[in-house]
A and B are shown apart, each in its own frame.
Chain A
Amino acid sequence: DTGVSQDPRHKITKRGQNVTFRCDPISEHNRLYWYRQTLGQGPEFLTYFQNEAQLEKSRLLSDRFSAERPKGSFSTLEIQRTEQGDSAMYLCASSPRTEETQYFGPGTRLLVL
């Protein structure tokens, strides 16, 4: 059990560029979650996968955001045409079952200039 990993840890990009983040969950965890956290706030739910199926998306996830989890393993979160308001920490978590502990990765900190 090596924990949840995320890559990259930091990303600086210019407004209008596309960025992609990767999350590798704990092996055998079939639930995977993405959250976004802005400074001074708690994380906010973005989307959820059970295996490869994306089952819920927050209204925070605009059309510029897309997430995938091919083959139910790692997941990617892509933001197209980034805006300064997208600057935040993007956190990934995984769990073995819905009502169990969610284990979080270290996060990807995005800064849009």
Chain B
Amino acid sequence: SQQGEEDPQALSIQEGENATMNCSYKTSINNLQWYRQNSGRGLVHLILIRSNEREKHSGRLRVTLDTSKKSSSLLITASRAADTASYFCATLTDSWGKLQFGAGTQVVVTP
């Protein structure tokens, strides 16, 4: 079973718009990580946010974490066609480093 669930499952926007996707999880976490995956390729790490952090920024990306609601959000500002990809949240819940992924949000950015 998967720990995280992303919402929405799919998102279609135009270049320049912002894209927001959410991740909910079930158990307490050590950290939460967001990854991007272009079609048929490996995962690219975007941001890691620890359980004692509430917000992090990286370039056009902003991640928030609300441990009381067991949820996180990823905001991509001023989206580009190159942002077209699937986005996954992954939670770290144990001492071994096993990441538990959601099913992802498929984002399509049209020029």
Chain A residues with a Cβ under 8 A of chain B: 4, 6, 31, 33, 35, 40-45, 48, 55-56, 89, 91, 93, 95, 98-107, 109
Known: A48-B96, A104-B42, A107-B41. 5 other contacts (CB 8 A): A4-B42, A41-B2, A56-B96, A106-B42, A109-B40
Which A residues lie within 8 Å of B35 (CB)? 104
In the complex, the answer to whether A42 meets B45 with C-beta atoms within 8 Å is: no
Shortest C-beta distance, A99 to chain B (Å), equals: 6
Give Cα distance in the complex from A101 to B45, angstroms.
Answer: 7
- Dominant secondary structure of chain A at its interface with chain B: strand
The answer to whether B95 and A91 touch across the interface, beta carbons within 8 angstroms, is no
A-contact bits for B40-76, CB 8 A (1 contact / 0 none): 1111110010100000000000000000000000000
Which of chain B's residues have a CB closer than 8 A to the CB of A33?
97-99
Q: Mark B20-44, 1 if CB is under 8 A from A, else 0.
A: 0000000000110101000011111
A107 engages B101 (CB within 8 Å): no
Q: Which residue of A lies closest to B104 (CB)?
A: A42
Chain B residues with a Cβ under 8 A of chain A: 2, 4, 30-31, 33, 35, 40-45, 48, 50, 88, 90, 92, 95-104
Contact of A98 (CB < 8 Å), options: B43, B44, B50, B97: B97
User: Which residue on B lies nearest to A97, using beta carbons?
Assistant: B97
**Interchain CB contact under 8 A, B102 and A95:** no
User: Whole-angstrom distance between the alpha carbons of A109 and B37 in the complex?
Assistant: 14
- Partner of A102 from the list B2, B40, B99 (CB cut-off 8 Å) is B99
Most chain A beta carbons < 10 A, residue from B40, B92, B98, B103: B98
For residue A46, which residue of chain B has the nearest CB?
A: B98
A8 to B95, CA, bound (A): 31
Instruction: Write the nearest CB–CB distance from B69 to chain A, whole angstroms.
Output: 21
Flag if A43 contacts B101 (CB, 8 Å): yes
Asked if A31 contacts B97 (CB within 8 A), the reply is yes
B4 cross-chain contacts in A, Cβ below 8 A: 42
State the CA gap A48–B100 with chains docked (Å). 13
Checking B98, B100, B103 against A41 with a beta-carbon cut-off of 8 angstroms, the contacting residue is B103
Chain B contacts for A31, CB-based, 8 A:
97
